[in-house]
Structure 1
Amino acid sequence: MSVAENAKFGSPFAKLGAKLDSGGHWYFTERLGMHRTLDPIHTADLISGAEAVAQGKFSRAMRADELLDSTREIVARGGLRRHWRVRGVQGIGGAHPGPAPRLWESMQEENTEQARLCKTEDYAEGFWAFQEKREPKFFGCVG
């Protein structure tokens, strides 16, 4: 997930004499870990988008005026949302609402999806393309 370098993130509640609410403590701790949650809650310090990337909260930072075009390019690159191969990944790794799955649940989900995908022509094409150091030519076979 991308973010503008100059974006500001934090929890101003401490400076307001209030407390983070609406499950914010739980969600932040679940997604970021305790060490990355408590600091902004207790200090009310804001961090930039670039700092948020360095802390692992986002995957990449860029100039604000490049963010929309970059996001559109990522989505357009191969039609990611429309392509079948992404559907199997959407529920894995916290890309779904609610708490992230536990390790065992995640591994079971991955194994089930991998067993389905390994029977498709696209799976074979992906491996051949990787071995031949070329871009794959997927057919959209869902197995």
Structure 2
Amino acid sequence: MSEREFQHITYEVSERIATITIDSPQTRNGFTGLMGQELITAFGRADRDDEVKVVVFTGKGKFFCPGADLSGGANTFDYDARAKDAVDVVGTGASGAGGEEPPVPTEGRDEIDGVRRDGGGRVSLAIASMHKPVIVAFNGAAVGVGSTMTLPCDIRIASEDARFGFVFSKRGIMPEAASTWFLSRVVGINRALEWVYTGKVFDAAEAKEAGLVSRVVPAAELMDVTYALARELAETSSAVTMAAGRTMLWGMLTADNPWEAHRLDSKGIYELGRQADAKEGVTSFLEKRPPQFPGRIPSDLPEWLPDFPGAQPQ
């Protein structure tokens, strides 16, 4: 598969790890409508591929994603004005710009309540609906949508060079990418409000202290650390169990009480306990050898798993 199948990202699979890299020198990795659609396509492909167990999401060069491509100028976020100027990039939402792009087909899913859907939100919901772990390696600045679209990811690792910012108050626009749902669940309501109110750009140390990232490593070590973790998951963890854990942990954030988790846990223990992965997990432990889990996602995805809250086609 050619890396340049896409214009703004690259997609590679090796060792059961899919790597999705923002690689858009023409926008300095700035988010555009086409980039958003390409990310949705790539994450969907990884989730549907039985041979992929883990996804790594990173950027190439100085930036991870410094936010929206602002080449549209003052009308970047004014879709009516852009339409009058005959600039129409379908699916950009509050995160996209880049009038040079052709329209992106969205199969009729580009509107909600009569307005254009936020493109960053379409990306974040595509990630949220996955059944496989997603590890983000922040190689540089992740500002605006560069931060918000990663909130549904599972593990975030930052280079010491990384910077973050929820800068919407400085641009006069709405916090996007469903970040008003995700951010407070990741770092707590008070820190989320502080960052949204101030719109400040902050360093990796503050991101780690708040729980936005789990590790901060020297820039030269970022990808080695990230791939070491990704390989550990790919080689030693059950894909079926990771899918169940990911879906349940996110899904239970909106459960009314722990009995809902208990109900699904009980069903899961029964169903997964009959499958080959459970037998291999016990046998490999008793035989003191690394496990060779046969389960594949999505082929062996348990039917009883709940959808991510509010999941819709992307």
* Contact preservation (8 Å) 2:166, 2:175: no
Q: Could you report, residue by residue, the CA deviation over 1:67-86 in whole angstroms, capped at 9, with x for unpaired residues?
A: 12221121222525874443
Residue correspondence of structure 1 range 20-39 to structure 2 within 5 A: 20-22=174-176, 23-39=178-194
Which fold has the larger relative contact order, with Cα–Cα distance below 8 Å and residues 6 or more apart in sequence? 1
SS of residue matched to 2:184: helix
Distance in 2 of aligned mates of 1:118 and 1:42 = 48
Q: CA RMSD in A?
A: 3.3
Instruction: Give TM-score, length-normalised by structure 1.
Output: 0.68
User: How far apart, CA to CA, are the structure 2 residues paired with 1:126 and 1:108?
Assistant: 29
> What is the rounded CA distance, in whole Å, between the counterparts of 1:50 and 1:126 in structure 2?
39
Aligned match of 1:140? 293
2:200 aligned with 1:42: no
Please, which runs of 5 or more residues in structure 1 have no aligned partner? none
Are the equivalent residues in 2 in contact too, given 1:3–1:61 (CA < 8 A)? yes
Relative distance call for 1:92 and 1:141 in structure 2 (3 A) is same
Answering whether residue 235 of structure 2 is matched by residue 77 of structure 1, we say no
Helix, strand or coil at the partner of 1:140: coil
Q: How many residues align?
A: 134
Indicate the percent of aligned positions where both proteins have the same amino acid. 19
| Mapped partners of 2:224, 2:195: distance in 1 | 30
Question: Structure 1 residues 115, 48: CA separation in 2 closer, same or farther (over 3 Å shift)?
Answer: farther
3-state SS of 2:197 partner? helix
CA-CA distance at 1:126 after TM superposition: 6.8
The separation in 2 between residues aligned to 1:82 and 1:118, in whole angstroms, is 13
Structure with greater strand share of residues? 2
- Mapped pair 1:52 → 2:210: no
AA paired with 1:20?
Answer: M
In the alignment, the residues of structure 2 paired with residue 52 and residue 126 of structure 1 have an alpha-carbon distance, to the nearest angstrom, of 38
Q: Structure 1 41/93 Cα, relative in aligned 2: closer, same or farther at 3 Å?
A: same
CA 1:57 to 1:110, structure 2 compared with 1: closer, same or farther past 3 Å? farther
Higher-helix-fraction structure: 1
Q: Which runs of 5 or more residues in structure 2 are unaligned?
A: 1-154, 301-314
Give, in whole Å, the separation in 2 of the partners of 1:107 and 1:49: 37
1:1-143 maps to which residues of 2 (within 5 A)? 1=155, 2-16=157-171, 18-22=172-176, 23-77=178-232, 79-80=234-235, 83-94=239-250, 100-102=253-255, 103-104=257-258, 105-119=260-274, 120-125=278-283, 128=286, 137-140=290-293
